[in-house]
Structure 1
Amino acid sequence: MDYKAIPTGMPVLSSRQRKLMPDHESTLEAPADKRQKKPFWRLWECPLCRRPSEETRAELLNAAFEEIHRFGFQAASISRILKHTGVTKGALYHYFPSKKALGYAVLDEIIREQMLAFWIKPLEDGNPIDVLIHIIREAGRQMTLDDIRLGCPLANLSQEMSPVDEGFRERVETLYTEWRHGIAAALRKGQASQQVRADIDPDATAVMLVASLEGCLATAKNAQTRELLLQCGRSLIQILDSFRPPKGDNNNG
């Protein structure tokens, strides 16, 4: 496992590319892209990690993310992180005064960027239903079985650390709130442009979608199968399609 590699950003569709969203079905059913070298959860790069002056810190953050994702925070080993990065313990504690501070930084800088890049930024323009469907199908296409076995990094830390550490709980809740608000804002914008049914509650719908997405990932993680994840994704797509207004009511169709 190459802990030192800092991932390149995942391509995000432009508004022009998103307009028609062609051939949704074939995308979801396709196997994970074998050309993809990096794990699904490492297709995004934290902004601070791109600074040359922060190279050592970035290596530590990337290694810590991989270690925590695979073993959990409490079982994560500082010794393994140092071994894989070649960084001294003194250098690590120069950047992060404690293991907990390192874990907080992984949430604040790496996991948050993953969420923003994949779930929030694409919703800033385009039809929100089309974009959400595309995101779900893209996740199904990109995720390998190993990605599924490891599970969602945010959900993993929520289940492991929220009951035992308030700092982790607050950070996890901040990210979930940001995720829900991003979806709700996009749905409101879609209602204003008659792309989303006027009778749905954007806030409640966003809560349902985030909970359902995390539930799909958690169930597939335990079953260790892509098919269950894809099956769950298909059901979510049917629900999203039901949020479209009747064709006669959508003047922007």
Structure 2
Amino acid sequence: MKASAANHSMSPQQARAPTKAGVRRQPDLTRQQLLQCAFDEIHRSGFRAASLDAILESSGVTKGALYHHFGSKTALGYAVVDEVVRPWVEALWKPILEAGNVIDAALALCRELARARSEQALQYGCPFNNLINEMSPLDRGFRERLQHILHDWHEGVIVGIRRGQANGSVRKDVDAEQVSALIISTAEGSVGLAKAKQSPAFFDAAMRGLEAYLESLRPLRAAP
């Protein structure tokens, strides 16, 4: 799934399930439509309150087709996490690892998040964080899937920071694990709190604070 302004805005209508190249068979299209409509409904309502009838109505799919692809509402929820939420989260952080300067790339992402945020993002919050808060205490299948996504994100940022330390773009005296945890916590927490406050200004302020922190990770220039 390619990262874009649409992905970063955290809008359920914009973050689409990934598709393979080429012509897809009709059952594949039906499955993808169900996944996307389920993602949208879960983002709006939460998993427990999500309505299968609403998903069927928005997707135009029959109940029989839904249960053909997913044996239960829980199985549908697991598939949404695996096939929509995971690639969407990875699209946020994986491009940073490919950049020559991890700080520049992370700063660009912060600015893009602030620029591309939508009213829906602030109204409904981050779908990943929402599911962590709602389902991790209640369901082992959700908890393990969400933990794996978070683990990969945390480890990925650690790799990026250490790579930056190796190429001289990140200070060598910082702890990569701590930096990764702080960046992720700030990014996710700012969306959740902005949702609670319904305040774009709060989110923008948090992103500016994160940008200042990222700038502080650059190596200090020697005094002339």
Q: Which runs of 4+ in 1 moved over 3 A?
A: 8-12, 38-51
* TM-score normalised by L of structure 2: 0.91
User: Is 1:209 matched with 2:183?
Assistant: yes
Q: Is there any run of 5+ residues in structure 1 with no aligned partner, and where?
A: 1-7, 13-32
Q: Is the contact between residue 10 and residue 126 of structure 2 (CA under 8 Å) also seen in structure 1?
A: no
For residue 82 of structure 2, the aligned residue among 87, 102, 108 is 108
Corresponding residue to 2:139 among 165, 169, 175: 165
Which of 173, 186, 189 lines up with 1:199 in the alignment? 173
Cα distance per residue 1:51-85 (max 9 Å; x no partner): 61210000000000000000000000001101111
Partner of 2:130: 156
Which amino acid counterpart does residue 224 of structure 1 have in structure 2? Q
TM-fit CA distance, 1:205: 1.0
Q: What letter is aligned with 1:232?
A: A
Q: Does 1:239 align with 2:213?
A: yes
Determine which of 91, 97, 111 is the counterpart of 1:137: 111
Q: 5 Å matches for 1:1-253?
A: 9-11=2-4, 40-48=11-19, 52-53=24-25, 54-248=28-222
99-108 or 38-47, larger mean C-alpha shift: 38-47
Q: Which amino acid aligns with 1:110?
A: V
Q: Give the fraction of aligned pairs with identical amino acids, expressed as a percent.
A: 39
CA displacement at 1:151 relative to structure 2: 0.4
Give the drift of 1:44. 4.3
- Residues 69 and 218 of structure 1: is their aligned pair in 2 closer, same or farther, counting only changes over 3 Å? same
Letter in 1 for 2:170: V
| Offset of residue 119 of structure 1 | 1.8
Partners in 1 of 2:123 and 2:140 — Cα distance? 27
More displaced 10-residue stretch of structure 1: 115-124 or 44-53: 44-53
- When the two chains are superposed, the root-mean-square deviation of aligned CA atoms in Å is 2.2
Q: Distance in 1 between the 2:108 and 2:119 partners? A: 20
- Asked whether the equivalents of residues 9 and 44 of structure 1 are also in contact (C-alpha less than 8 Å), the reply is no
48-57 vs 183-192, which moves further: 48-57
In 1: Cα distance, 2:78 partner to 2:109 partner = 27
Amino acid at match of 2:93: W
Cα distance, 1:41 vs. partner? Answer: 4.5
TM-score (norm 1): 0.81
- Cα distance in structure 1, aligned partners of 2:31 and 2:80: 11
- Distance, in Å, in 2 between the alignment partners of 1:124 and 1:43 is 24
1:118–1:67 CA distance, 2 compared to 1 (3 A):
same
Q: Report the CA distance between 1:45 and its aligned residue.
A: 3.9
